[in-house]
Each structure stands twice: as C-alpha cells, then as structure tokens.
Amino acid sequence: MQVLQQALASGQLSNGAEMTRIKAAVAHAFGQPLSIEEVELARPNSGEVEVTLEACAICHSDITYLDGGWGGSLPAVYGHEAAGRISALGDGVTGLKPGDAVVVTLIRSCGTCPSCCTGRPTGCEAAYDGDKGPLSMPDGSKLHQAMASGAFAQRVVVAQTQVVKIGDDIPMDVASLIACGVITGVGAVVNAAQMRPGQDAVVIGAGGVGLNAIQGARIAGARRIVAVDMLPEKLEIAMEFGATHGVLATGDAPWVEAQQALGRGADAVFVTVGAAGAYTAAPNYLASGGKVIMVGMPATGAASSYEAGNLAAASQAMIGSKMGDVVIQRDIPWIVDLYRQGRLKLDELISAHWSLEQINEAIADTKTGSAKRNVIVFK
C-alpha cells in the first residue's frame, strides 16, 4: 500500500493522468546482463488492469528464457511471479478497485476457447502477441512483454483474468511466490496427479517448485514422500517441507534407494527440474500403474529416452502439467487459506530480497541452485 500511496502522491497515478514511464529490467541479448531502463507502459485497455508491483520472484523459467533456451523476441521484459496493488482499471473490469492487493500470474485466459470452457485455462488457445502488448521503448519501438507479464518492472498491465485478489494480511513477497512456483508445485499434485491419501510420491528436484510439490503431497495425505536432488543441503530443506526421505541423485541408480525407502515404487513421480536426464530416469522410480508428472521444462531440443514397452506393460503414464493445471480463481484462494492456517510454508521459501537494480546479482545467485526463491522488491 505504501508504494501505491507514494505513486499517487507524486502524481504518477493521478485520476485520468497517462503517466506511463516506468523502470524495468530489459533483456537486449540472450545470455547477457539485464539493463535497468525507463520504458513506456500503456494504459489498460478493456478487460485489463494496471498493477503497481511490490514484489516479483525469480523463476528458473525466466532464466531459461534469458539464456535463450526457448528462443523468443527481443528486447524483452521478463518476470512473471508477481504481486502488487491495482492502480488503474480498463473498461469493463468488475470486482476490482484501485488499492486492491492481487497476485499477478502469466495465465491469460480468454474464457471461450475449448480449453478454457472445459476448465483448463492454463491451456488457453487464444494467441497472445507480447510484441504488441502494453510495453514499448521510449522511442516507441517494440518491447516484448514476456509470458504476458513483463513483471521485472515497477508496474504491469495484464488481463483481469491473470490476477486474483488477496487480503491485506498476506505479505507481498509471499504473495508473489503463489503466482507460479507454489501453484505449479501444489497443483501438479492435486490437479495433474490427483494424489489420494496413502499413495507414495517421489519429487525430483528440491528447488522452489519441488518444495511445493512436496508440500502438496503432504497436504494430499501421501504416505511417504522421497525428495531427490543433487545437493545434500537441499535434501535437508526438503525434509523441513514434508519429505520423509531424501536421496542424492549423484549415484548410479538413485531410484533403487528411493524404492527401498518407499518399500515399493512410487504412485507419482514429479519431475520439477528442466533437465532431460531427470526425465529419462523418472520412469525407473514408478510402481505398476504409476504416473510421471512432467513439470520442469528443459530447453528446446533437449531429448529424453524411454523403453515404451515397459510403460505399456506396467500400465504407467507420463503426464505434462503446465502451471499445475490450476484454475487461479479457484486454487489461489485455497492456497492463501492454507497459508493463513499455517498448513503451507511460504515465508520459508524466500532465500533473499533484492532491489530491481540488483536483479543481475539475484539471477546469478539463483543459477547456483542453492536458493529456494529470490524475490525482487519494489520500494
């Protein structure tokens, strides 16, 4: 609220005033540091909202894009795990008002395509062209709004369908985590895997998304939860979030140790890292009838291999899960309520806070693999 009040006091958000100059971290070349620059942000169109951000977490998807792993348009503003307060409304927006605290997601849904109409807004089929979004360079040239968000910036303009109102009691740094890492991990368990009480889970990767998959499995009533990671310290953290066992992935056959811990194969294996090798190994952890839930996204062109006959003979499956298959207006309020009850750890996910000017250092720290979530805070 203080950020919004300061902006109002300075005239940046005065009623009807079209003040669009903001600071953002701009990517001009893949694999190169971001540049903090002033850019232009258009006023919200019909059905859109402007949000003055207070926090934006750094996701490994941002880093994969920044390193050129998935290609994309440049120059661009990345960032998609954000939270802030509504500062302007486009025509036709209902249920929101200036000052409302919201989580900002990348899930831009049209509400009318076959995917949206069957309850799968994460698969919305309406194309969004970030080159024609609300951002532009000061000279009017193109500036790509990456992942329909562009949240490494002081403000964003997004579709109303991308935001969910939350209470003033939720800290903004915590709220930003919910926008991607939390809903992706928890949602993969409850929506994609549909885990039942008493089933067993293996979570490959104990980073931000993996820790939330562990929490989701715990909340779903999993009997045992095995965390698999390359770093011993991350396995220790996984135990704090609900894992019952930890297995180092550095051995020749870590699935043998995992199955010994479970006493059987796993009903669900969640691959939360974007590593092709992790996907090749994942079916080895499964019980008969089990499922691999494919969450982490390797770079374009990275390939994995399987013995298809083994999967068919054991009635096993591999299922992709984008953003936890969430319906944000349904799932985010539930997740917020779990946090309020103390049943979902969120504060503990934050490794450090950084300013926008420190974003390159924050990204470098995230790349080491030791951080759970680094959060950019705007003041």
**14 shares its domain with 163:** yes
Q: Output the pLDDT for position 14.
A: 34
| Mean local confidence (pLDDT), 320-338 | 97
pTM for this structure? 0.92
What is the domain-level CATH number for residue 12? 3.90.180.10
Same domain? For 280 and 353 the reply is no
Q: How many CA atoms lie within 13 A of 66 on its CB side?
A: 26
Nearest in space to 207 (alpha carbons), one of 187, 191, 184: 184
Same domain, 285 and 220: yes
Q: What is the mean pLDDT of residues 215-241?
A: 97
- Residue 341 belongs to some domain of the structure: no
- Quote the pLDDT of residue 379: 80
> How many CB atoms neighbour CB 205 within 10 A?
28
Q: Which whole number is the average pLDDT over 298-313?
A: 93
The closest of 200, 250, 260, 253 to 229, measured between CA atoms, is 250
Residues 230, 315: one domain?
yes
Least confident of 17-26, 97-106, 221-230, 313-322: 17-26
Residue 330 lies in a domain: no
Q: Print the domain residue range for 31.
A: 2-168+346-377
Measuring CA to CA, how many Å separate 77 from each of 23, 358, 360? 11, 15, 13
Judgement on whether residues 94 and 213 belong to the same structural domain of the protein: no
Determine, yes or no, domain membership for 333.
no
16 and 162 part of one domain? yes
User: Is there a single domain that holds both residue 208 and residue 92?
Assistant: no
- % of the chain with per-residue pLDDT over 90: 92
DSSP 288-314: EEEEEEE-S-PPTT------HHHHHHT
Cβ neighbours of residue 6 under 8 Å, at least 6 residues apart? none
- Whether 147 shows a pLDDT value over 60: the answer reads yes
Q: What is the CATH number of the domain that holds 294?
A: 3.40.50.720
Does residue 68 belong to any structural domain of this protein?
A: yes
- The last residue of a domain, from among 322, 338, 355: 322
pLDDT at 212 over 80: yes
Percent of the chain with pLDDT over 70: 95
pLDDT at 154 over 60: yes
15 pLDDT band (50/70/90 cuts)?
A: very low
How, if at all, do strands 135-136 and 35-41 pair? Answer: antiparallel
230, 255, 235, 234: which is closest to 245 by C-alpha?
Answer: 235
Nearest-angstrom CA–CA distance, 258 and 265: 8
Residues 62 and 109 occupy one common structural domain: yes
307, 322, 337: which is the final residue of a domain? 322
Contact 119, 326 (CB under 8 A): no
- Residues 196, 159 within the same domain: no
**Residue 20 pLDDT grade (very low, low, confident, very high; cuts 50, 70, 90):** confident
In a domain? residue 217: yes
Q: What is the pLDDT of residue 18?
A: 65
Quick check: 3 pLDDT over 80? no
The total of structural domains in the chain comes to 2
Task: Determine the pLDDT at residue 370.
Answer: 81
Same domain, 263 and 368: no
Question: Rounded to an integer, what distance in angstroms lies between the CA atom of residue 86 and that of residue 102?
Answer: 7
pLDDT higher than threshold 90 for residue 8: no
One domain for residues 156 and 72: yes
The verdict on residue 173 lying in a domain is: no
Residue 354 — pLDDT band, cuts 50, 70, 90? very high
Tokens representing 275 are 């590593």
pLDDT in tens, 252-278: 999 999 999 999 999 999 999 999 999
Confirm whether 258 is domain-assigned: yes
Q: What is the pLDDT of residue 58?
A: 97
* pLDDT tens-digit readout, 29-50: 999 999 999 999 999 999 999 9
How many helices (H) and strands (E) the chain has is answered by 12, 18
Closest CA to 283 of 262, 257, 304: 304
Same domain? 6 vs 153: yes
Does residue 174 fall inside a structural domain? Answer: no
- Per-residue pLDDT at 17 exceeds 70: no
Mean pLDDT, all residues of the chain? 94
